[in-house]
Amino acid sequence: MSYRPIKDYKKCLEYLYNLERRGIKYNLDNIRKLSSLSGNPEKNFRSVHIAGTNGKGSTASIINSVLIEKGFKTGMYSSPHIIDFRERIMVNGKFIDKKYVIDFINAQHRSIEKIKPSFFEVTTAMAFSYFSYMKVDFAVIETGLGGRLDATNIITPLVSVISGIGIDHTEFLGNKIKHIASEKAGIIKKEVPVVIGKIPNEIMNVFRKASLKNGSDLISADKKFKLSIIKKNETGLYFNILKSNFISKNYYLPVIGDYQLHNMKTAFTVLEILSKSIKISLSTIALRKGLKNVKQNSNLHGRFELISKDPKIIIDVSHNIQALKNIKKNLEYFEFKKLFVIFAMMSDKQYVEGIDILTKLGASKIILTKPEYKRAALPEELFKAVKKKKDTFEICGSVGSSFDKIKTLSDKQDLILVIGSFFLVSDFLKVIRKKSLR
Largest Cα span, the chain: 70
Residue type at 340 in one-letter notation: F
Q: What is the pLDDT of residue 173?
A: 45
Tell me the pLDDT tens digit for each residue of 226-255: 999 999 999 999 999 998 777 899 999 999
User: What pTM was estimated for this model as a whole?
Assistant: 0.94
Q: Which CATH class is domain 305-437?
A: alpha beta
Q: Give per-residue pLDDT as tens, 25-59.
A: 668 999 999 999 999 999 999 999 999 988 999 99
Q: Give pLDDT, residue 166.
A: 65
Look at residue 23 in the predicted model and tell me its pLDDT: 64
CB 149 within 8 A of CB 28: yes
Q: Give residue 279's pLDDT.
A: 77
Q: Is the pLDDT reported for residue 289 higher than 70?
A: yes
Summary mean pLDDT of the chain: 92
Q: What is the mean pLDDT of residues 104-127?
A: 95
Tell me: pLDDT of 390 over 80. yes
The arithmetic mean of pLDDT across residues 2-7, rounded, is 81
Percent of the chain with pLDDT over 90: 81
Length of the chain as a residue count: 438
With bands split at pLDDT 50, 70 and 90, how would you rate the model's confidence at 161? very high
Q: What angle do CA 161, 164, 184 make, to 5 degrees?
A: 60
- Range from 94-98, 147-151, 165-169, 311-315 carrying the lowest mean pLDDT: 165-169
Find the mean pLDDT for residues 137-161: 95
pLDDT at 280 over 80: no
Domains 9-298 and 305-437 agree in fold: no
Q: Domain ranges in the chain?
A: 9-298, 305-437
| Band of pLDDT at residue 169, cut at 50, 70 and 90 | very low
Domain covering 9-298 assigned CATH 3.40.1190.10 in the classification? yes
Predicted pLDDT of residue 152? 97
Distance CA 17, CA 9 (A): 12
- Strongest mean pLDDT among 1-5, 54-58, 64-68, 388-392: 64-68
